[in-house]
Chains A and B, each alone.
Chain A
Amino acid sequence: MSRRTLNDEIQEVRTRYPEGTRSAVLPALRLAQERYGWLSREAIEEVAGALELTPAYCFSVASFYDMFHLEPVGRHTIEVCTNVCCGLVNAQAVLEAFESELGVGPGETTGDGEITLRAVECLGGCSTPTIVAVDHVYRQSVTPGDVPAILEEVRNG
């Protein structure tokens, strides 16, 4: 593990953009979330400090985007596409299989804090429905029958 602090990482990201701009906000929030799992008040304050912006500004940006978690999430995320193209080929049954295996609904986290289940909009994998992003890695052509094996892999991984 690197000894680099979040601030070090953010300062490096800032160099990609012209001075005096706020372009590093999204990458900085992403770095914070990767480090802490979600964007707590403290995490947002740290990002704001590194970028010399107010926490309120950083929160206003973070709250706009679906991928930023403003409340704690599980160590792993499972995101099931439920837009039309996946829906035509049984996305609903895939989501329900995850719900029943995990005992939680979309947007919820298992009691042991391990897995957060989310339904998401089109992930851009429409020719291999249903698309399930497991810790952001796409699984293609997922059927309800694949769900137990995916969960076993996640829990052991």
Chain B
Amino acid sequence: MAETTVAVAGGPALVLAGYEGEPLRSLEAYRAVGGYEQLERARAQDPQQVIGEVIESNLRGRGGAFFPTGRKASFIPTPDKIAKPIYITVNADESEPGTFKDREIMLKVPHRLLEGCLIAAHAIQSKRVYIYIRGEYLAEYESLQFALDRARDGGILGDVDIVIHRGAGAYICGEETALLESLEGKRGQPRSKPPFPAISGVYASPTLINNVESITTIPAVLAIGPEEYAKVGAPPDSTGTRLFCLSGNVERPGVYEAPHGITARRLIEEIGGGIAEGRPLKAVMMGGSSFPVMTPDDLDTPLDANSLGQKGYFIGSGVVCAIDDRTCIVQFALRVAQFYMHESCGKCTPCRVGTRWLVQLLRAVEHGSASERDLDLLLDVCDRIIGKCLCVLGDSAAMPVASCVTKFRDEFRAHLEQGGCPLGHDSQLDGLFAPVDQHAHTPVAQEALA
């Protein structure tokens, strides 16, 4: 059974530096490629200076929000300003459909993640790091725990403790405040902000939350220097490299480290070897399933925040999932909507109810029982979700659905005219089962507890 391809494509190896096909699991292997040298250098520096270097590099969050990593660290009060412990939580709850990069970091270069944590801990003067890893990641958890044990035995942690906390299956816990709730032993429902985690995060204490890839990039930034790092990619706003997650109907899917500004065309056609079986491309799930789909005419857009933003796209978590012409776009939108309906935590009405509406309407379109007015109703429901909830999960359902209706309206219309799917049962996603339809556990469990 095939292994995931993990490679460097068209740029400097920064996050994956030193990885040559063998995971850098032992301390010796990681040290042989310069591992933990930047930690030593950082610890000899003033904490503010370390934050300054990260700010200068303009490293931005790789989890989806693209918030400047250094600035985020600078919001954390210094210990003399607040009489509470200061925490770091690493978001390793990687669950965005199409995203599989953080797990490769934890499998291939786990010590670099730990080094990033320890540098960040020095920078904000924190003594406690929680790494919240999604519950399904077993091999990744074991790899990271192995590396952590080696680092602890090697005396590298110093006075910082790192605890790996395993989730239990909930997409919403990748949302930072839901993650904090879950880490506190509660249902993973987002909090209202403010207060922001930098002031009141886990245990009502100042908390820095970073995605795995963001924090793993910190040692790489220090290694080449912030000035050099800021020249890589698409400066000034989208600096450095990132791990693109290439999947779908491509010949050579995988995790590819490439500089910001590379195009989806280059990723799909050159690095990915083109569309499988030479078929035409229909759409790209760009950034993740939470964002508007990209149409083939935008394939030459540089993958950086500004170029994508001008066309209404998002870089998200670096997802590039190619969808060929055999896929019914209504089925795609339906399956995406089912995912968010399943994962909605239920706290905000527009998301809880709106995602159900989207699923119902898309089902009706797919089965040919909808009317033209239902297409407008779909867009109207999307509009009534976007921006109206505590977190962005609802938006994440509405944005891709609205983009499908808007950009592929003719295909939606064809369903209405033909009384069903024009692709018949030939669509790749035909009849795709959604887990939301298998869950009956709540009533059963209530009965069990009665």
Contacts and interface: CB of A to CB of B under 8 A. Distances in A.
B435 interface: yes
Given A63-B442, A70-B444, A128-B1, A87 B136 contact: no
A112 B203 CA distance: 46
Interface string A60-96: 1101111111110000000000111101111110010
Contacts of B362: none
A120 B136 CA distance: 10
A118 B289 CA distance: 22
A154 to B, nearest CB: 15
Interface stretch (B48-56, B96-104, B116-124, B151-159): B96-104
Interface string A105-125: 111000000000011111111
Interface in B76-101: 85, 94-100
Interface stretch (B241-249, B381-389, B402-410): B241-249
Q: Interface size class for chain A? A: 35 or more
Given A40-B448, A41-B448, A126-B98, A95 B246 contact: no
Contacts of B185: 21-26, 61
Nearest to B161: A16
A128 to B, nearest CB: 5
A87 B428 contact: yes
A127 B163 contact: no
B171 interface: yes
Interface residues of B, number: 76
A82 B168 contact: no
B253 A63 contact: no
A133 B441 contact: no
B65 interface: no
B359 interface: no
B255 A123 contact: no
B4 interface: yes
A119 B435 contact: yes
Contact of B170 (A29, A64, A82): A64
B21 interface: no
A87 B95 CA distance: 16
A26 B247 contact: no
A126 B138 CA distance: 16
A21 B163 CA distance: 15
B100 A125 contact: yes
Contacts of A44: 449
A128 B323 CA distance: 15
B327 interface: yes
A67 B168 CA distance: 5
A140 to B, nearest CB: 5
B103 A124 contact: yes
Interface stretch (B217-225, B335-343, B349-357, B372-380): B335-343
Contacts of B135: 30, 65, 67
B170 A106 contact: no
A140 B182 contact: no
A84 B336 CA distance: 7
Contacts of B323: 88
A118 B136 CA distance: 13
Nearest to A141: B2
Given A88-B248, A118-B435, A29 B168 contact: yes
A84 B253 contact: no
Nearest to B400: A84
A129 interface: yes
Interface of B: 1-5, 85, 94-100, 102-103, 134-139, 163, 165-171, 182-188, 203, 245-249, 253-255, 285, 289, 321, 323-324, 327, 332, 335-336, 339, 342-343, 345, 428-435, 437-442, 444-445, 448-449
Given A23-B183, A27-B165, A85-B248, 13 more contacts: A27-B166, A59-B449, A69-B441, A82-B434, A84-B285, A84-B336, A88-B249, A88-B428, A106-B438, A119-B438, A126-B245, A127-B255, A128-B4
